A and B are shown apart, each in its own frame.
Chain A
Amino acid sequence: MSEVTTLPPIVAAIRENRRALARLLTRIENNAAAAELAALYPYGGQAHLIGVTGAPGTGKSSLVNCMAKAYRAEGKTVSILAVDPTSPFSGGAVLGDRIRMRDLHGDQGVFIRSMATRGNLGGLARTTSDMIRALDAAGFDIVLIETVGAGQSEVEIASAAQTTIVVEAPGLGDDVQAIKAGILEIADILVVNKADNPGVESTLRALRAMLDLGHRSERIMHHGKLMNVPAAPILGEEAAWQTPIVQTIATDGTGVPELLAKIAEHRAYLRASGVQQLRERASLRAEIEERLRDLLLAHLLERVGVAHFQAVVERVLRREIDPNSAAGLLLAESSRDHKP
């Protein structure tokens, strides 16, 4: 156990003690774990981060349950982060994804955590990516992330995960209508779940048609938007990833071995092609920029004073100056060492 003794205490704790991990996740969720996150960051990067998204009720939780079981059969340890929406009215939430994950109890190689979006709109909570980092540093081989039932704009998962699985199901009304372009574009793998239900063929046809329209380029998330970059920068154009479609029945596990095989292929592709680094760099850059914006705003407010800031808002309200000039004015004042 000499390796363990050299680890920072928080990393050793979350690797050995599930309660310590659970407690850390709570502190992260409450934005009270900056020091721990800094300490554990160097110990991440080993896990395969797999996102599972798709419209409400398509079978994401059931599929995650099957995938986790299959990974356990391969001897891999699995953690699951399941995100459900916060009620905008009360700020509370009912987190129900665990109902479908009951096959996984009693196994020390599985750890399931539910979380609410707490007002964030991108399909994840603001702290989800930090929670993923903790699970990664805790040593799980696989981190499965289930997003809220997503429509089209909830695409944050594409920057939080390495492999994004979009789950569709037949019988969600008009097929093409149900398969929203935004969410389809982030798919590394498409799953048509509920393959036991009528209408699978037409869903498959619609999906194939939409995939054929797509071009062979890599999508990376940047500033919350998808950007295209040339495919497979190292391997070249012909080796580009072609989004496969896998049919599954999550209630009995049909198709899950095929899905796991595609996931493994995708991981190999990400590494060999250099796309993994490309995506990671873009999303880290966006994250740092976002954090910097928050810090700069806090810093600026401290320099000019909240009261003065509010006074400027009032001037804009009276139409004495426009919002853009107000921002410029506040910035100039903050750098002039002005303190009212």
Chain B
Amino acid sequence: MSERKIRVLVAKPGLDGHDRGAKVVARALRDAGMEVIYTGLRQTPEMIVEAALQEDVDVIGLSILSGAHMALVPRILELMKAHGLEDVKVVLGGIVPDEDVPVLLQMGVSGVFGPGSDTQEIIAHIRKVVSLE
């Protein structure tokens, strides 16, 4: 009998090439016992939502350092809704100005983690928001 594992998609939407943070987070989640599907750079919102559906992930982790989060995140949330993925949690990391954070949380993002975030905090957050039946 294998136990249920938390599955997380870590994706970089848009043209942003900063992938260090995403890789650091992917490895940290692996080391916390999660299964991380890493899809690499330059993903469109459509690709991300499609991958989340096929992989049946519990969490979509987005890494955006380009400043395009206020365009990309709403689009992804909209597509998730269209595909019935409302129960999948979204966490965001990267460069996000403070004033955008409450707006993103209001939209349905479950947590925002900027530069210097402690990966242990990210892990604890994901464990908290994912309730495994």
User: Hey, which bits of chain A sit against chain B, CB under 8 A?
Assistant: 18-19, 22-23, 25-26, 29-31, 86-87, 89-96, 98-99, 102, 105-106, 111-114, 116, 118-119, 126-127
Tell me if B29 is interfacial: C-beta within 8 Å of chain A. yes
Q: With A and B bound together, what is the CA distance between A94 and B3 in angstroms?
A: 17
Contact yes or no, A92 B46, CB < 8 A: no
Docked CA distance A18–B49 (Å):
12
Do B32 and A105 touch across chains, with their CB atoms under 8 A apart? no
Q: Is B122 an interface residue (CB 8 A)?
A: no
Q: B29 contacts which chain A residues (CB < 8 A)?
A: 92
Given A30-B2, A31-B2, do A113 and B46 touch, yes or no (CB 8 Å)?
Answer: no
Given contacts A18-B53, A118-B2, contact A94 B26 (CB under 8 A): yes
Q: Separation in Å of the B133 CB from the closest CB of chain A?
A: 10
Our pick among A26, A94, A102, A127 for the contact of B27 (Cβ within 8 Å) is: A94
B40 contacts chain A at the CB level, 8 A cutoff: yes
Q: A98-B37, A113-B55, A114-B55 are in contact. Are A106 and B50 (CB under 8 A)?
A: yes
State A92–B44 Cα separation when bound (angstroms).
26
List, in ascending order, chain B residues with CB within 8 A of A118's CB.
Answer: 2, 5
Say if the beta carbon of B108 comes within 8 Å of chain A: no
B113 adjacent to chain A (CB < 8 Å): no
**Residues on the A chain within 8 Å of B46, using CB:** 105-106
A113 near B35 with CB under 8 A, answer no
User: In the complex, A106→B79 CA distance in Å?
Assistant: 13
Contact residues in A for B5 (Cβ distance below 8 Å): 91-92, 116, 118
- Bound together, the chains give a CA A114 to CA B53 distance in angstroms of 12
Q: How far is the CB of B124 from chain A (nearest CB, A)?
A: 15
Q: Give Cα distance in the complex from A235 to B51, angstroms.
A: 45
Question: By the criterion CB–CB under 8 Å, are A29 and B2 in contact?
Answer: yes
Query: Which DSSP category, helix, strand, loop or mixed, fits chain A's interface?
Result: mixed
Contacts of A116 in B (CB 8 A): 5, 35
Alpha-carbon distance A93/B32, docked complex (angstroms): 9
A96 to B51, CA, bound (A): 12
Q: Which residues in A have their C-beta under 8 angstroms from that of B54?
A: 18, 22, 111-113
In the complex, which residue of chain A has the Cβ closest to the Cβ of B44? A105
The answer to whether A98 touches B51 (Cβ under 8 A) is yes
Known: A92-B31, A102-B39. 5 other contacts (CB 8 A): A22-B53, A90-B30, A92-B35, A94-B38, A126-B2
Sort A-B residue pairs by CB-CB distance and give the 5 closest, nearest first: A92-B30, A99-B40, A22-B56, A91-B33, A92-B33
Contact yes or no, A105 B38, CB < 8 A: no
A22 x B33 contact (CB < 8 A): no
* Cα separation A116 to B83 with both chains bound (whole Å): 25
Assess the A95–B37 pair: CB atoms within 8 A: yes
**Across-interface contacts of A18 in B (CB, < 8 A):** 53-54
Q: Residue on B with the closest CB to A79?
A: B54
Inter-subunit contact A90/B39 (CB<8 Å): no
Known: A30-B2, A105-B46. A23 touches B56 (CB 8 A): yes
Q: How far is the CB of B29 from chain A (nearest CB, A)?
A: 7
